[in-house]
């Protein structure tokens, strides 16, 4: 694990940005819960040179709206092979596997997690996958795990305070 080389953070959606619950009402309308604290962590990251991507196997208008709200540039939905999609993204961004930190929550994320520099799961991931990654967050998916992961990377790179000040200056200017 070498935090200094991270230039791209990749997140899964369900179980990472959300608590993993997929709720349908009687009209077959899907809903998900996103955590505002994770959103602020993503905004904090945007004051750095580290890029953020979300790669998910499902398709959700709700996730698209969340990414629009947070100005997340790289969103890939309905991805069957996350390893292939990540390889394509790395080529597009001219990055290597050593530049990737990945926060996923289950086996569909593991092919990418075992290749990247830093792999992590939320605290509520199943035990078997926890034992095969570099980090386990203290917080659960959908309950601040993303923010915790982002802040850890920024702190390890020594740019947390600088980014926090940029975020605060931005918020004061609104």
**Tokens describing residue 60:** 């959700």
Q: What is the pLDDT of residues 68-102, one digit of tens each?
A: 999 999 999 999 999 999 999 999 999 999 999 99
What is the pTM assigned to this prediction? 0.94
Instruction: Provide the CATH number for the domain formed by 3-173 in this structure.
Output: 3.40.50.1000
| Cα 105 to chain centroid, rounded | 11
Q: Are 37 and 20 in contact (CB under 8 A)?
A: no
Q: And the tokens for 113?
A: 């997690």
Nearest to 62 by CA among 30, 99, 104: 30
Q: Which of 108, 111, 116 is nearest to 78 (CA)?
A: 108
- Cα–Cα distance measured from residue 10 to residue 103, given in angstroms and rounded to the nearest whole number: 6
Kindly list the domain boundaries of the chain, sorted by start residue: 3-173
94-132 pLDDT per residue, tens: 999 999 999 999 999 999 999 999 999 999 999 999 999
């Amino acid at each position: 694990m070498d935090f200094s080389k991270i230039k791209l953070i990749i997140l899964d959606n369900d179980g990472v940005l959300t608590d993993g619950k997929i709720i349908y009402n009687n009209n077959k309308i899907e809903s998900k819960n996103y955590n505002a604290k994770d959103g602020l962590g993503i905004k904090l990251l945007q004051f750095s040179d580290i890029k953020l991507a979300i790669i998910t196997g499902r398709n959700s208008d709700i996730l698209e709206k969340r990414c629009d709200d947070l100005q997340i540039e790289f969103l890939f939905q309905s991805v069957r092979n996350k390893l292939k999609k990540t390889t394509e993204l790395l080529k597009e961004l001219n990055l290597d596997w050593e530049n990737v930190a990945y926060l996923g929550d289950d086996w569909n994320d593991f092919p990418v997690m075992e290749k990247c520099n830093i792999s992590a799961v939320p605290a509520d991931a199943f035990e078997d996958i926890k034992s095969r990654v570099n980090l386990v967050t203290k917080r659960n998916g959908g309950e601040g795990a993303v923010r915790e992961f982002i802040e850890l990377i920024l702190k390890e790179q020594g740019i947390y305070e600088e980014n926090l000040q940029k975020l605060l200056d931005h918020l004061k200017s609104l």
